[in-house]
Amino acid sequence: MALDRAYAEQLLEDMVRTESLSGEEQAVAALIVERMKALGYDSAEVDGAGNAVGHLGSGPRRLVLLGHMDTVPGEVPIRREGDLLYGRGSVDAKGPLATFIAAASLAGAAPDWTITVVGVVEEEAASSKGARFVAPLWRPEACVIGEPSGHDAVTLGYKGRLVCEYRYAQGTSHSAGPLPSAGQIGVAFVNAAQAAADELNVGQKRVFDQISPNLLSIHSENDGLEESVTLTISWRVPLWFERESWEAGLRAVASGLDEEEGSHELRFYGSEVAYKGTKNNPLVKAFLAAIRSQELKPRFKVKTGTADLNILGPVWECPILAYGPGDSSLDHTPNEHISLDEYWSGVQILREAVQRLTQG
């Protein structure tokens, strides 16, 4: 089946209309596999993790185009308003994934190459199950992650992440007494963590290069015998971040705050390292030329969030970037939408980039 703009737009709209919260991607995976087969992919199937995987060609050199199928919750009424398609996932990240499916079909198989297009599950969940499942399966020569960069930009890197849960408890004391309350201890921990980040951030001008704290929750309670505070902090962390020394520093802070009758628990989890790919490689060159071929001026981006690039970049160690039409400031918002003109431009740019990379 020849793919044209109308088919590409219908593909995206059908994907957006198929709900796919994290862990509930079966229906959209089946839809994607069906469309890959209709478009002439050499094979397409749902893998053991629930990912939709299609291949074009069977050569020893592999290009992986990988985007996520799942969305965050929140119903955004699906509608077209002029050039705009509204709906949950239209930008994050069914727009980029539909771009991959369409562009790979248009680019076609190349001698010596296998083009693998993957719609992965659970990127929006902390598990990143889909990306972790495929990480050991292949050793691609290049990889593109599907996230909205804008059709004229490529994203070179993402910050990492670390989360901690801190709990402090002590015997209840009279509020008129000299001991700080558990709540005050919790606030002192948050402030100490902020000060530690501020100290390390000195001289770092870009947010991408800073440790960025976010207090996710804080709760104190008192049952008459014991008072306690529980809090969760998430840090978006830069390339230079040293997790072990950071954790050791905060463990020392927590111990220093313990009163004689109090004790704390501290747990770190959700760690993702920051990752940034290089600029001078065949993949970036192909994109720069492809973007310029559409008479656009290419842009580079680095992002303060995290994506599956954080997981696959360090494992595959190949040229890697993120690409996709759409405005990432609309991610997770009730106003999520994508320009269909930009979407189709993204399809053309990616087709050109894939052909430049695999066909010279």
Name the site residues for other proteins (rule: CB under 8 A): 92-93, 147-149, 153, 155-156, 158, 206-208, 279-280, 284-289, 292, 297-307, 328-329, 331-332
Using CA atoms, how far residue 232 sits from 53, 128, 211, 238, in Å, is 36, 21, 16, 20
How far from the centroid of its chain's Cα atoms is residue 81's Cα?
28
Whether 25 is catalytic: no
The one catalytic residue among 9, 13, 25, 70: 70
Smallest distance from other proteins to CB 321, Å? 12
SS3 218: strand
How far from the centroid of its chain's Cα atoms is residue 241's Cα?
19
Using CA atoms, how far residue 287 sits from 275, 284, 352, in Å, is 19, 5, 8
Whether 70 is catalytic: yes
Name which of 22 and 306 has its Cβ closer to other proteins.
306
Hey, what's the torsion of the CAs at 42, 44, 48, 49, to 10 degrees? 120
Smallest distance from other proteins to CB 254, Å? 30
The one catalytic residue among 123, 147, 227, 352: 123
SS3 250: helix
Per DSSP, helices labelled H in the chain are 5-17, 26-38, 94-107, 129-134, 182-201, 243-257, 282-293, 309-316, 340-359
Smallest distance from other proteins to CB 295, Å? 12
In angstroms, rounded to a whole number, what is the distance separating the alpha carbons of residues 304 and 281? 23
Name which of 183 and 277 has its Cβ closer to other proteins.
277
Structure tokens at 326: 């759409």
Smallest distance from other proteins to CB 94, Å? 13
Name which of 306 and 348 has its Cβ closer to other proteins.
306
Name which of 86 and 287 has its Cβ closer to other proteins.
287
Name which of 37 and 292 has its Cβ closer to other proteins.
292
Smallest distance from other proteins to CB 53, Å? 21
Smallest distance from other proteins to CB 66, Å? 13
In angstroms, rounded to a whole number, what is the distance separating the alpha carbons of residues 321 and 95? 16
CB atoms within 10 A of CB 331: 18
Structure tokens at 137: 């399966």
Name which of 181 and 333 has its Cβ closer to other proteins.
333
Active-site residues: which are they? Answer: 70, 123
